[in-house]
Amino acid sequence: MSAPRDYLHADWPAPPWVHAVTTTRSGGVSAAPYASFNLGDHVGDDPAAVRVNRAALRADLGLPAEPLWLTQVHGTRIVDARRAAPGAEADGAVTPAPGIVCAVLTADCLPVFVCDRAGTRAALVHAGWRGLAAGAVERAVEALGLPGERLLAWLGPAIGPAAFEVGAEVRDAFVAHDRAAAADFHDGRDGRFRADLYGLARRRLAARGVTAVSGGRRCTHGEADRFFSFRRDGRCGRMASLIWLDPAP
């Protein structure tokens, strides 16, 4: 018997009708190397297994609609989930309306959840280092159309700084934008650097006035029993992160 399904719910001061959730790897029907709750349909898994896993996801969480599954390209495009077609090429989505489920898939990259304090609009971003460096988080904040002090953010599970070694070109991409970002890189092995995605995301959010930021304490690479990690395993499944609004009372 497989392990039960396990969900991480955002620990942030959002209104209760704002739902922000990330899946873990247990409780699905996918076989190795995608074992077992793989939600990605682009990684080589049996499509029938992915369909079963996605149906279980929707039933478990009582989702009001099928999530808007995107074609992620490590870019900065953020779509309006009310109008985007399934499979739209983008790395994030926003919704100002209840009943619409934004989704991104990750296996080391950082899912960044954002909502306003009143719970009237929400956004979700897939932020690998390329998208983060290029401004994906800033684009999502801009798409929400509110001052940063009216927003909340939660950083879902991603690869932690102890495991995320990168080359100098990655450090250079961030430092060229903000010299202070050098503080989020630490010496690694053989001239490489250990990058703190969480710190970099907090820095980008703060630059847009978003300082109420929660989360950012997990490591997908180090928690092999709970999370998929592309850097650790190569071929593997994907976790899903989702955000949606219920009608406000």
Domain regions of the chain by residue span? 15-160+208-245
Q: DSSP label at 248?
A: P
Looking at the predicted structure, is the pLDDT value of residue 249 above 90? Answer: no
Given a cut of 80, whether residue 96 has pLDDT beyond it is yes
Cα distances from 149 to residues 141, 145, 214, in angstroms, run 11, 12, 14
H helices within 5-101, ranges in order? Answer: 47-61
Give yes or no for residue 185 having a pLDDT over 80: yes
- Domain spanning 15-160+208-245: which CATH class is it, in words? alpha beta
| pLDDT greater than 90 at residue 194 | yes
- For the chain, strand residue ranges (E) read 7-9, 18-23, 79-80, 92-95, 102-106, 110-116, 122-127, 151-155, 165-166, 185-187, 193-195, 213-215, 239-245
pLDDT for the residue 20: 98
Angle between helices 136-144 and 197-207 (to 10 degrees): 40
Q: Around Cβ 209, how many Cβ atoms within 10 Å?
A: 14
pLDDT of residue 49: 98
Mode of pairing for the β-strands spanning 165-166 and 151-155: unpaired
Q: By mean pLDDT, which of 1-15, 91-105, 203-217 is the weakest? A: 1-15
The model carries a pTM of 0.96
Quote the longest CA-to-CA distance of the chain: 56
Q: Write down the residue that tokens 């929660």 correspond to.
A: 214
Percent of the chain with pLDDT over 70: 99
**If you average pLDDT over residues 28-54, what whole number do you get?**
97
Residue 2 reports pLDDT greater than 70: no
Confidence of residue 171 (pLDDT cuts 50, 70, 90): very high
Q: How confident is the model at residue 248 (pLDDT cuts 50, 70, 90)?
A: confident
Mean pLDDT rounded to a whole number for the chain: 96
pLDDT at position 1 is 43
Q: pLDDT tens for residues 111-154?
A: 999 999 999 999 999 999 999 999 999 999 999 999 999 999 99
